[in-house]
Each structure stands twice: as structure tokens, then as C-alpha cells.
């Protein structure tokens, strides 16, 4: 296998990301069109500490994750990181791409001075849970949500 590189996503990547979300089965019930996705990408490009990263292998996007780094008032301004929408192409799973992305996320958070990095995962995604365990995440507390629409 060739070298996997991680870089920040650019607007031209959106069409590939939308396909990746679909193939990794993490898309929403009503996925964006490419035009909608690119418009939304432009919105969160303005957020100061929110980035989308892609894993590239042989000039092909084979993985992605989103990272938010935020300041915490209750922690005397200490920063924490939140990972969202981790996806690896099913054809490339099991080849170290997810591990490289999570190692990258941890490095980005350390560089930003974060005291922790968190993520949540659906209860049924037991393979993903085993993966997160294997890269050093520990199960902590509970994740809660309320559907608002």
C-alpha cells in the first residue's frame, strides 16, 4: 500500500466526501446535492476552529473526519476537541486509514492545547467501537441526544 496522507479538505473535495459518506453509510436521510454540500462547506469554512480533513491514497480520497476545537468556560478556558463524521471507504477499511486519521486528530488537538478529544458513536456500530478502543479512546460516561425536528 502507498503512503496515506492527511490534509485539510477543500471545496473541490465535497463531491468525493458526499460519495464517501454514502458508501460508509453515515449520510443523513436526505443527503446534500453537490451544490448544497459546497454551499454548506463554505459556511463552516468561516468557523474559526472547525475543519474537515481527508485521507488521500494514490490521489483518491479514501477517508475523512471533522474536527472542532473549542474553548471551555467551565474548564478555565482549556480547549477540547470533538471528532465527527469519521468515514473510511469500505474498500479501504482495515488498512490503517482510520488509525492514521485518529492519530492526526490527536496531534491536531495536542498542538491546539486541548486537554481531551471526544467523539460519539451509535450503539449499533460495534466494529467502530472496537476500532476506537484500539486507538486509545476509552469509553466514558454516556452520550445523550434529543431529536429536534
Determine the pLDDT at residue 28.
66
Grid coordinates given for 128: 467502530
Indicate the number of domains in the chain: 1
- In the chain, the percentage of residues whose pLDDT exceeds 90 is 62
Q: How far is CA 106 from CA 5, 69, 94, 137, in A?
A: 15, 11, 20, 10
What pLDDT does residue 76 have? 86
On whether residue 80 sits in a domain, the answer given is yes
Whether residue 20 is contained in a domain is answered as yes
Residue 140 lies in a domain: no
Q: Is residue 147 part of a domain?
A: no
Instruction: Evaluate whether residue 149 is within a structural domain.
Output: no
**Residue 144 belongs to some domain of the structure:** no
pLDDT digits (tens, 9 = 90+) for 78-119: 999 999 999 999 999 999 999 999 999 999 999 999 999 999
Residue 146 resides in a domain = no
Residue 38 belongs to domain with CATH number: 3.40.630.30
**Containing structural domain, residue 106:** 5-134
pLDDT tens digits along 50-63: 999 999 999 999 99
Q: Is residue 49 part of a domain?
A: yes
Largest CA distance in the chain: 45
Is pLDDT of 1 > 60?
no
pTM: 0.90
Amino acid at each position: 500500500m502507498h503512503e496515506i496522507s492527511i490534509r485539510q479538505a477543500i471545496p473541490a473535495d465535497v463531491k468525493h466526501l458526499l460519495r464517501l459518506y454514502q458508501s460508509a453509510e453515515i449520510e443523513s436521510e436526505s443527503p446534500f446535492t453537490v451544490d448544497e454540500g459546497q454551499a454548506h462547506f463554505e459556511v463552516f469554512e468561516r468557523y474559526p476552529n472547525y475543519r474537515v480533513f481527508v485521507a488521500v491514497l494514490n490521489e483518491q480520497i479514501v477517508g475523512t473526519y471533522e474536527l472542532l476545537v473549542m474553548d471551555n468556560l467551565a474548564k478555565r478556558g482549556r480547549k477540547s476537541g470533538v471528532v465527527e463524521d469519521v468515514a473510511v471507504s469500505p474498500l479501504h477499511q482495515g488498512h490503517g486509514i482510520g488509525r492514521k486519521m485518529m492519530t492526526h486528530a490527536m496531534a491536531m488537538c495536542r498542538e491546539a492545547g486541548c486537554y481531551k478529544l471526544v467523539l460519539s458513536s451509535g450503539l449499533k456500530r460495534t466494529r467502530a467501537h472496537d476500532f476506537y478502543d484500539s486507538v486509545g479512546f476509552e469509553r466514558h460516561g454516556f452520550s445523550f441526544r434529543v431529536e429536534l425536528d
